Amino acid sequence: MTQKTIRFGTDGWRGIIADDFTYERVAVVAATAARVLESNYSSQATNRKVIVGYDRRFMAETFAQKAATAITEAGYDVLLADTYAPTPAFSWAAYEQKALGAMVLTASHNPGKYLGLKVKGNFGGSVSGEITQQIENQLSQPPQTAAQTGSLGHFSPWEGYCRAIQSQIDLSAIRRALQQGEITVFADVMHGAATGGLAKILDLPINEINSSRDPLFDGGAPEPLPRYLSQLSRHIRRYHRQDPQQKLVGFVFDGDSDRIAAVDREGTFLSSQILIPILIEHLTQRQGKSGEVVKTFSGSDLIYKVASAYHLPICETPIGYKYIAERMNQTQVLLGGEESGGIGYGSHIPERDALLSALYLLEAMVQSGQDLQQLYRELQTKTQFVSSYDRIDLPLASMEVREKLLQKLQTQPPSEIAGKVVLDCTQTDGYKFRLADYSWLLVRFSGTEPVLRLYCEASDIQQVRQTLEWAKNWASEANR
């Protein structure tokens, strides 16, 4: 069987274990990535260290050991984690250690058959597309023999990371509220790297579910989406029926804990399209922070509305957190967030961090005396903007169908969608159609597989579903 060409997506290289993700390929990619990190970050680093970490996926620690060995054989020193941890913990370690960068063995939110490798820069965030392109370009070059093998050491990834997060929040106020029973917190860690995280940071027990190691992720994927969260919603609703006055919140963390979602006390799913506006309001109005708001192309219009209400500049980027990280390295940023759940902060490192986001949201509840749904509704009232949002990923029959649809968008874009006139189309990343009622539909293709991603925001969920159904029917004509 011919193996797939190694390509880096929006955040790292991913492949199917034992198919295209093998020991030999990981060793080559890790050694090559180390050389590229040195060529780009040696002037900012104070050593030749590379941090290597991993999540809880099948054989992740073994692949991490293989990567670490390859990096030392290429002549670089390695600090290898002695246990799993969130991806942002390894980004923090690269920044704190003033290392060349970090590599993390994780496939984030993908199903269990996948594993991957993320590359982080010396600054503590995802490297740019230009740097991953350098890695890809050098993979075909003959292996280089180092004059001297580097050293291999081990470290605990949680200690420094927990201290860093604790310094960002009012730890004592959150601990007091939880100890006094003012708020009850549930955490669905989805069998992933966030397991034990909130308890470590808060030094308090947390109601955690799905904390066992399960490389098959209950037959699904460790992605913070409603279809995977029925167990958490049941827990929350049951608790709410027993004590309707109790403030409740459920946090959801993806496989490597860089993406977040939440569930309110009634079991309602809260995506980052809702959480980002709440966080903007909290950071500016209660923490007194300022800076630019960075959103990706698929972000809710409510993000614009809230940023405008608090007189904050806003920047829109293509989809992928690496674009937000680039912007965070260029200017003072309050917050950068993406529709898929990745949120990062200018006061920390330019990296999305689900545990830090959860703690900021907890802090908002403690300091406001309100739950997340109440905070969200207040923002809707303040901005006079109410909307619903959903997204679907539509598998296509082949890459040929993908090309056919792409050509159709380029040559025959729709002038009307779901009975509404198209006002304009923006092509920052995909095709975003703004409709006459100011709802929008984004049509975007996966760069590595035959999948069509459809995003929609409208005034109510019925309109969202109608628009997405129209888009599915439009795509199906070429997908037959």
pLDDT in tens, 362-373: 999 999 999 999
**Do residues 58 and 89 both lie within one domain?**
yes
301-348 pLDDT per residue, tens:
999 999 999 999 999 999 988 899 999 999 999 999 999 999 999 999
**Do residues 364 and 244 both lie within one domain?**
yes
- State the CATH number of the domain containing residue 301: 3.40.120.10
Chosen domain end from 137, 157, 177: 157
Q: Residue 2 has what pLDDT?
A: 66
Q: Which two tokens mark 166?
A: 């604790």
Is it the case that residue 278 has pLDDT exceeding 80? yes
**Do residues 329 and 474 both lie within one domain?**
no
Q: Residue 480 has what pLDDT?
A: 61
Range of the domain at 254: 168-383
**Do residues 237 and 199 both lie within one domain?**
yes
Residue 267 and residue 287: Cα distance in Å, rounded?
Answer: 28
Residue 12 and residue 345: Cα distance in Å, rounded?
Answer: 21
**Do residues 352 and 439 both lie within one domain?**
no
Q: Residue 206 has what pLDDT?
A: 95
Q: Residue 190 has what pLDDT?
A: 97
204-239 pLDDT per residue, tens:
999 999 999 999 999 999 999 998 998 999 999 999
187 DSSP β-pair partners: 208, 251
Q: Residue 188 has what pLDDT?
A: 97
Chosen domain end from 349, 383, 417: 383
Q: Is the dihedral of CA 366, 372, 374, 380 positive or negative?
A: positive
Alpha helices in 203-300 (DSSP H): 230-242, 272-285
Q: Residue 43 has what pLDDT?
A: 96
Does residue 162 lie in a domain region?
Answer: no
User: pLDDT: is 202 or 397 the higher one?
Assistant: 202
Q: Residue 1 has what pLDDT?
A: 52
Is it the case that residue 243 has pLDDT exceeding 90? no
- State the CATH number of the domain containing residue 416: 3.30.310.50
Q: Which two tokens mark 276?
A: 């980002």
**Do residues 300 and 189 both lie within one domain?**
yes
Residue 181 and residue 185: Cα distance in Å, rounded?
Answer: 10
**Helix axis angle, 272-285 to 354-368, nearest 10°:** 60
Is it the case that residue 152 has pLDDT exceeding 90? yes
Cβ atoms < 10 Å from Cβ of 154:
13
Q: Which residues touch 62 (CB under 8 Å, ≥6 apart)?
A: none
Could you give the number of structural domains in the chain? 3
Does residue 5 lie in a domain region?
Answer: no
Does residue 1 lie in a domain region?
Answer: no
Report residue 354 CA to chain centroid gap.
8
Does residue 349 lie in a domain region?
Answer: yes
Q: How far is CA 302 from CA 88, 107, 299, 363, in A?
A: 27, 30, 8, 21
Local structure of 382: helix, strand or coil: helix
Does residue 455 lie in a domain region?
Answer: yes
**Do residues 215 and 302 both lie within one domain?**
yes
**Do residues 153 and 181 both lie within one domain?**
no
Chosen domain end from 157, 178, 200: 157
Confidence of residue 11 (pLDDT cuts 50, 70, 90): confident
Report residue 311 CA to chain centroid gap.
26
**Do residues 253 and 308 both lie within one domain?**
yes
DSSP letter for 21, please: B
Do residues 322 and 134 touch, judged by C-beta distance below 8 A? no
68-115 pLDDT per residue, tens:
999 999 999 999 999 999 999 999 999 999 999 999 999 999 999 999
What is the share, in percent, of the chain residues with pLDDT greater than 70?
A: 99
Q: Which two tokens mark 427?
A: 């092509």
Does residue 8 lie in a domain region?
Answer: no
Alpha helices in 80-125 (DSSP H): 87-96
Average pLDDT over the chain reads 94
**Do residues 378 and 393 both lie within one domain?**
no
**Do residues 357 and 443 both lie within one domain?**
no
Q: Residue 192 has what pLDDT?
A: 97
Does residue 440 lie in a domain region?
Answer: yes
pTM: 0.94
Is it the case that residue 449 has pLDDT exceeding 80? no
**Do residues 452 and 322 both lie within one domain?**
no
* Owner of token pair 């308090």: 204
